[in-house]
Amino acid sequence: MKFITLLIISVFTLGTVNAQDCERIVQDCEALLTDENGNKFVSDGQVYTAFLDREKAEFKTTFFGGSTYRLATSAGSRENFVIFTIKDQEGHILFSNKNYKNSPYWDFKVDNTIPVTITTELDLDLKVTGCVVMLIGFKN
């Protein structure tokens, strides 16, 4: 009986720690929605969060033509452990930050409206498990 009680307490404690870590990472990621000139990208209102353990998370969204977007990611470190890949509906890769040293953010100018799938994953050479946060901001 002690084992079951200890197991239940451990699960709730780990869940609370993970939730607190994710909340802190959201705040870190929000800071990335401000460019080097102090201009803020407007959040799309979503907080894309996943707790990953050697796996990927997939999010679907639409980029609207005529807008500039900033996609920002964080896994709770100054060094970015997150790889994100943007694909069109046919699965063609439009962009991956893996080709840019896992840059924590990237700006996109979108000419035409396009539905996309964004995949986030941890760079397994650097980190295998943890909370990943992605935010999407825009400006016209």
| Angstrom distance (rounded) from CA 60 to CA 89 | 10
What averages of pLDDT result for each successive group of 10 residues across the chain (140 residues)? 44 46 88 92 94 95 96 86 96 95 94 97 93 93
pTM, 2 dp: 0.82
* pLDDT in the model for residue 21: 78
125: number of Cβ within 10 Å: 7
* Alpha helices (H) in 48-139, listed in sequence order: none
* pLDDT in the model for residue 19: 60
Q: Which domains does the chain have, with CATH numbers?
A: 2-139 (2.60.120.380)
* pLDDT in the model for residue 20: 61
CA distances from 65 to 6, 58, 101 (A): 53, 22, 27
